[in-house]
A and B are shown apart, each in its own frame.
Chain A
Amino acid sequence: MRLQIPLAIILVMGIFTLVTAFIPAKPIADVNQLLRNWYIGIITFFIFLGTFNLARVNINKIKRRRRDWGYSFILLGCLALMLFLGFYKGRASTEEGQPFMYLYFNVQFPLGATMYSLLAFFVTSASFRAFRARNKEALCLLLAAVIIMLGRVPVGTAIWKGFPSVTEWIMNYPNAAAKRGISLGIDLGLISMALRMILGIERSYMQ
């Protein structure tokens, strides 16, 4: 029963979700919306679980003086501060100008943007490795990349006016064809995976 009941729920919900894609009728759409609301409720509950887990793992790390335990101390301090600032004024805490939002926009947001900006350097280093012409295929890749880069910047047009149109052709035909081929495979794999889950064949997460 420990296995059968969850599998039965998956079967019913899986078939119901599939049906909602083809039946627009209001009663079905309403039940679908209700289920989505339940899912949001469950996610909200799990956020508490996640926060609790984060605190427990880091408290244990400090207690046992594991390597780099100082970082855990900083993390818990920041977590406690943000929780306090987020709750102490209720909903008003998330209004503009409040300390919670001030820290969000002036600390967390720039830190995230800094991590994102690393991409520029990583794209350069990855491109340097990818575009080495070691064989015929790599040479094709290199040529295509050079043409596309030149077709997307003004200096490319200054060298030869045809670069933008060649770039468009590469993007619209060979590139789009390859992407659609992969997407088609992905969608079929997705259907197969969903069917395995609905039928209870794929259940590595609850054996």
Chain B
Amino acid sequence: MKWLAASALLFAASAVAAAGGGTRTNDDAIVGDGFAPVLSAYGFFSDAQAQRPAAGVTPYRLQTPLWSDGAEKQRFVYVPGGKQARSRGAGLLDLPVGSALIKSFRFGGRLIETRVLLHRAGGWIALPYLWNADQSEARLVLAGARVDLTTPAGAAISYAVPNKNQCKECHGAAGQVVPIGPKARNLSAEWLAAFKRAGKLDAVPAVARRVPLWEDRAAVPVADAARGYLDANCAHCHNPDGAASNSGLTLTWEETDPVKLGVGKRPVAAGRGSGDLQFDVVPGDPDHSILAYRMASLEGGISMPELGRASLDPAGQAIIRGWIAGMR
């Protein structure tokens, strides 16, 4: 614990320096060893309470986001001065060492937590910060936290701020922490072009098939909306390098094998998550599809995703059920 305390002092000092210098982001806090004990140490915001980013910190949104109990989310990307992200086709932007991704979660206007992904020389690390009651600071909660709150839909839940390991459960690929959200296919062409114009990206990636905007879900083919939802809400674990790789169920945007997408696929290690049903997806029959069953549950051991959902997502359920119902 000694080293943690020492780095806390170090970071406290840098935080003061950053505050004195205005709104500069503290690169040392991103790439240095240890974990900053407070969010302000990074200097990502000129006004954190308003989530007004500092210079060089760029807000972005995803075409179809992860649903987290209806939390209002604000996302930011930071690429250090003089460096550029590299285009990697339709997949994740290749963000250089020194970059950071920042995501804040609000309920009823109140900031609950801010998660940061920091790209260090040894790889990415993921850290959770919990906001205090007067919204003046967020402090590191390595072991996670629980917060009682009410969702926009009116559900009273015990909201779980993930611990550091849980961050990796979703952000892990073949044992390494990686970003999930900023894949070119899940970012708008306009945002990517603007990011390039700002000098933060080497080229605008070519995207043959873009994930639709979630708000447009009623206007686009239901399969596209559903696959976008699965990609954002399930595929971080359900991919060949993810935490659920052993299930053989792959729910990524790119997957084309119907069996890997669950059609006619029997459960393997689902336990009571099977709900006495035979297949993950039964075309035309959402009521007999395990995928829909697990989305409709709030019970530990049954509900999916395993992390980050304590209430139901009716809009997501409707899209997935509609997709299965329309299958032949």
A and B are partners in one complex rather than unrelated chains: no
B contact set with A: CB distance below 8 Å? none
